[in-house]
Amino acid sequence: MTVVPPGGMLGILGGGQLGRMAAMAAARLGYRVHVFTPEADAPAADVAARATVADFADTDALDAFAAAVDAVTLEWENVPVAAIERLAGRVPVRPGAGVLAVTQDRIAEKAFAGRLGLGTAPWRGAATAAEAAAAVAELGTPCILKTTRLGYDGRGQARVRTGDDMAAAWARIGAPDRAIVEGVVDCACEVSVVLARGIDGAVAAYPAVENRHRDQILSETRAPADVPPATAAAADGAARALAEALGVVGILAVEFFVTRDGGVLVNEMAPRPHNSGHWTLDACPASQFEQQVRSACGLPLGDPTPFAGAVMRNLLGHDADRWADHLADPGARLHLYGKREARPGRKMGHVTHLLPLPPVGG
């Protein structure tokens, strides 16, 4: 097991706000950060010691990056597996290529959860619009047609209702080589569990939180989730089982649908810090970003136990223009990501309000 002591250089693949917050956590623990990003105007690069701006397919840039860092983590789960494999031959990469091979593909993800005996929404794979139409006929409407890769915040998705033109829906998601059709679940709410897993297999999990969306983008997270203890325990157990089976070293976030009877169905996984874990920056001894640094560098994990409840709200687009109002609110904890341009739906920052923790078992 490779341990990188404080003072080392941690490489981060991806230059967005997640990398920015991870770099800030790394600095607090005495690490320097080298960001590898395809984007010249990357928020993480503003707070990093070094930045390489290059495509993930640039093998020369990857080799130079590997030679300059002591360990590598990521803030974006869609880094090409080939890039992870090349780096892993030269420097520890946490999480590894095997984790990404599953979590980058919605079909592989659903099948993996099923092999562990975990429930999901009903689904079928489809390689053509005709196959998707057959899947809809089998599952019933409404359904969601999704690309298997790269879709997030509602991108690459189309809701299918009775009588809809499947060829048009297929075109709307970009006419992919392969897609997945998912049955719509009548759920009570959506929750997620964010956990960290160290190089020694130790796990530190944050409590399940409830997520609320606006225009298919996460708008608000409430921690802890107001669900029965058995539901929270089921989500925690499923997330731990997935992390163990995947062999994750790093962060794993798992989103769940909560059924009307209190059961949980695995929706999606992300092997990196998650928007629904941002509240941990202000309400936990060790945030999800500190845990990412600790696990990537081979350190013991920190304490995830919240000392307060929290409501975290995303600042989307021009919501961030109200920064002065949030600064004037003594109960608000404002986090801005340093992005130059506000666009509709773009995550510009978040604001967290702390709350008393509910009574145990309440």
Rounded alpha-carbon distances, angstroms, from residue 251 to 203, 216, 293: 10, 23, 10
Q: Which of 183, 207, 226 is the last residue of a domain?
A: 183
Neighbours of 66 (CB within 10 A): 18
176 with 198, same domain: the answer is no
- 98 falls within a domain: no
Output Rg (C-alpha) for the chain, integer angstroms.
20
**In this structure, are 204 and 137 located in the same domain?**
no
Residues 175 and 193 in one domain: no
How many domains does the structure of the chain reveal? Answer: 3
Query: In the prediction, which pLDDT does 35 show?
Result: 98
- In the three-class reduction of DSSP (H, G, I as helix; E, B as strand; rest coil), residue 135 is classed as helix
What is the reported pLDDT for 361? Answer: 57
Domain encompassing residue 83: 9-93
Peptide bond preceding 142: is omega within 30 degrees of 0, i.e. cis? yes
- In a domain, residue 329? The reply is yes
Predicted local distance difference test score (pLDDT) of residue 152:
62
Positive or negative, the CA dihedral 275, 277, 282, 283 is positive
Residues 6+ apart with CB under 8 A from 294: 29, 196, 198, 286, 300, 301, 302
Return the closest-CA partner of residue 118 out of 229, 12, 236, 251: 236
Q: Are residues 217 and 317 in the same domain?
A: yes
Would 77 be classed as within a structural domain? yes
Alpha helix (H) residue ranges in 173-227: none
pLDDT along the chain (362 residues), means of 10: 92 97 98 96 96 97 98 94 96 97 95 97 90 87 86 70 76 82 92 98 98 91 97 98 98 97 95 97 98 98 98 96 96 96 93 89 54
| CATH (domain of 67) | 3.40.50.20
275 in the same domain as 261: yes
Do 271 and 206 share a structural domain? Answer: yes
Tell me the residue length of the chain. Answer: 362
Q: Are residues 208 and 342 in the same domain?
A: yes
State CA 29 to chain mean position distance.
23
Amino acid making up residue 131: E
What are residue 13's phi and psi, to 5 degrees? -90, 115
CATH number, position 254? 3.30.470.20
Residue ending a domain, among 183, 203, 233, is: 183
Q: Are residues 214 and 310 in the same domain?
A: yes
Q: Report CA-CA distances (Å) from 247 to 50, 81, 270, 296.
A: 30, 16, 14, 13
